Structure 1
Amino acid sequence: MRALRSASFVLAALAAAAQPVAEAAGDAGEAAFRSLYRELVETNTALSAGSCTAAAGKMAARLRNAGYGDAQLQILAPPDRPQDGALIATLPGRDASLKPILLLAHIDVVEAKREDWRRDPFTLVEEDGFFYARGASDDKAMAAVFTDSLIRYRQEGFKPRRGLKLALTCGEETPQTFNSVYWLLKTRPEVLDAAFAINEGAGGELDGDGRPRALQIQAGEKVYQDFKLEVTNPGGHSSRPVPDNAIYRLAAALGRIGAYSFPTRFNDATLGYFTQQARLSPPDVAADMRAILADPQDQAAAARLWAKNPGWNSMLRTTCVATQVEAGHAPNALPQRATANVNCRILPGVAPETVRQTLVGLIGDEQVVVSAEAEPSTGVGAPPPLTAAILGPVQKLAQKMWPGVTVVPTMSTGATDSRFLIGAGIPSYGLSGMFHDAEGSHAHGLDERIRVQSLLDGRAFLYEIVKVYASQKD
Structure 2
Amino acid sequence: MIRIVVSAALVAATMHGTAHAAADANEESRAVARSIFKELIEIDTSESGQGSTPAALAIAQRMKDAGFAESDIVVAGPNPRKQNVVVRLRGNGHKKPVLLIGHLDVVEARRSDWTTDPYQFVEKDGYFYGRGTQDMKDGDAIMAATLIRLKKEKFRSDRDIILALTADEEGAGDNGVDWLLKNRRDLIDAEFVLNHDGGGVLLENGKAVQMEVTASEKVYADFQLSTTNPGGHSSLPVPENAIYALSQGLTRLARYEFPFELNNVTRAYYEQIASRATGQRATDLKAMLATPPDQQAIARLSKDSIDHAIVRTTCVATRLEAGHANNALPQKANAVVNCRILPGHSPEEVRQTLIEVLDDSRIKVSYIATGGEIRETAPAAKGFQPPPLREDVIEPLRKVAGKMWPGTPVITSMAAGATDGVYTSAAGLPTYIVGGEAIERDDIRAHGQDERIAVKSFNRAVDFYYEYLREVVNYRK
TM-score range, shorter chain: 0.7 to 0.9
Deviations 1:53-74 (A, max 9, x none): 2222222222223221121101
- 1:125 counterpart = 2:128: no
- 2:308 alignment partner in structure 1: 313
- 1:349 alignment partner in structure 2: 344
- 1:429 counterpart = 2:432: yes
- 2:41 alignment partner in structure 1: 41
- 1:419 alignment partner, one of 394, 418, 422: 422
- Contact 1:380–1:422 (Cα < 8 Å) also in 2: no
What is the TM-score of this pair, normalised by structure 1? 0.80
One-letter identity of the residue aligned with 1:412: A
- Contact 1:56–1:168 (Cα < 8 Å) also in 2: yes
Shift of 1:150: 1.1
- 2:391 alignment partner, one of 388, 393, 415: 388
- 1:374 counterpart = 2:356: no
Shift of 1:160: 1.8
- 1:275 alignment partner, one of 260, 271, 275: 271
Shift of 1:458: 0.7
Answer 1 or 2: higher relative contact order, Cα 8 Å, separation at least 6.
1
One-letter identity of the residue aligned with 2:85: L
Deviations 1:219-275 (A, max 9, x none): 22211223345667899999xxxxx99999878876776665433322343223322
- 1:400 alignment partner, one of 394, 403, 406: 403
- 1:226 alignment partner in structure 2: 222
CA-based RMSD: 4.0
- 1:215 alignment partner in structure 2: 211
- 1:145 alignment partner, one of 142, 146, 151: 142
1:26-37 equivalences in 2 (<5 Å)? 26-37=26-37
Shift of 1:211: 3.9
- 2:105 alignment partner in structure 1: 108
Shift of 1:336: 8.1
- Cα distance in structure 2, aligned partners of 1:36 and 1:252: 48
- Cα distance in structure 1, aligned partners of 2:279 and 2:21: 35
- Contact 1:218–1:269 (Cα < 8 Å) also in 2: no
Secondary structure at the counterpart of residue 433 of structure 1: coil
In structure 1, the gaps of 5 or more residues are 1-17, 239-243
- 2:83 alignment partner in structure 1: 85
1:198-277 equivalences in 2 (<5 Å)? 198-199=194-195, 200-208=197-205, 210-229=206-225, 261-277=257-273
Shift of 1:406: 2.4
- 2:172 alignment partner, one of 173, 176, 185: 176
- Contact 2:173–2:370 (Cα < 8 Å) also in 1: no
- Contact 2:344–2:382 (Cα < 8 Å) also in 1: no
- 2:154 alignment partner in structure 1: 157
Secondary structure at the counterpart of residue 265 of structure 1: coil
> Relative to 1, partners in 2 of residues 1:274 and 1:236: Cα closer, same or farther, differing over 3 Å?
same
- 2:283 alignment partner in structure 1: 287
Secondary structure at the counterpart of residue 443 of structure 1: coil
- Contact 1:380–1:423 (Cα < 8 Å) also in 2: no
Shift of 1:430: 2.0
- 1:52 alignment partner in structure 2: 52
- Contact 1:130–1:452 (Cα < 8 Å) also in 2: yes
Which has the larger displacement, 439-448 or 417-426? 439-448
One-letter identity of the residue aligned with 1:271: R
Deviations 1:362-414 (A, max 9, x none): 67887765432324699842233334333222122111111112223322222
- Cα distance in structure 2, aligned partners of 1:21 and 1:380: 47
In structure 2, the gaps of 5 or more residues are 1-17, 235-239, 372-378
- Cα distance in structure 1, aligned partners of 2:21 and 2:193: 22
> Relative to 1, partners in 2 of residues 1:45 and 1:393: Cα closer, same or farther, differing over 3 Å?
same
Shift of 1:310: 3.2
- Cα distance in structure 1, aligned partners of 2:168 and 2:245: 38
Which has the larger displacement, 115-124 or 149-158? 115-124
Shift of 1:315: 0.7
Deviations 1:276-325 (A, max 9, x none): 33245442121111122223643232122113x13312211223345667
% same residue:
42
- 1:71 alignment partner in structure 2: 71
Shift of 1:146: 0.9
Secondary structure at the counterpart of residue 62 of structure 2: helix
> Relative to 1, partners in 2 of residues 1:294 and 1:58: Cα closer, same or farther, differing over 3 Å?
same
- 1:11 alignment partner in structure 2: none
- Cα distance in structure 1, aligned partners of 2:331 and 2:28: 69
- Contact 1:24–1:460 (Cα < 8 Å) also in 2: no
- Cα distance in structure 2, aligned partners of 1:25 and 1:414: 35
- Contact 2:47–2:172 (Cα < 8 Å) also in 1: no
- Cα distance in structure 2, aligned partners of 1:45 and 1:326: 25
> Relative to 1, partners in 2 of residues 1:21 and 1:220: Cα closer, same or farther, differing over 3 Å?
farther
Secondary structure at the counterpart of residue 398 of structure 1: helix
- 1:466 alignment partner, one of 455, 469, 472: 469
Secondary structure at the counterpart of residue 432 of structure 2: strand
- Cα distance in structure 1, aligned partners of 2:243 and 2:42: 49
1:90-101 equivalences in 2 (<5 Å)? 90-95=88-93, 98-101=95-98
- Cα distance in structure 1, aligned partners of 2:61 and 2:319: 46
- Contact 1:202–1:217 (Cα < 8 Å) also in 2: yes
- Cα distance in structure 1, aligned partners of 2:104 and 2:20: 29
Which has the larger displacement, 37-46 or 164-173? 37-46
Which has the larger displacement, 334-343 or 70-79? 334-343
- 2:12 alignment partner in structure 1: none
> Relative to 1, partners in 2 of residues 1:44 and 1:353: Cα closer, same or farther, differing over 3 Å?
closer
Which has the larger displacement, 463-472 or 432-441? 432-441
Which has the larger displacement, 25-34 or 389-398? 25-34
Secondary structure at the counterpart of residue 227 of structure 1: strand
Deviations 1:175-207 (A, max 9, x none): 234332233233333333322222212222234
Deviations 1:438-473 (A, max 9, x none): 552633344332222211111111112112222236
- 2:192 alignment partner in structure 1: 196
- 1:454 counterpart = 2:451: no
- Cα distance in structure 2, aligned partners of 1:160 and 1:148: 18
- 1:166 counterpart = 2:163: yes
Secondary structure at the counterpart of residue 288 of structure 2: helix
One-letter identity of the residue aligned with 1:65: D
- Contact 1:103–1:164 (Cα < 8 Å) also in 2: yes
- Cα distance in structure 2, aligned partners of 1:395 and 1:132: 30
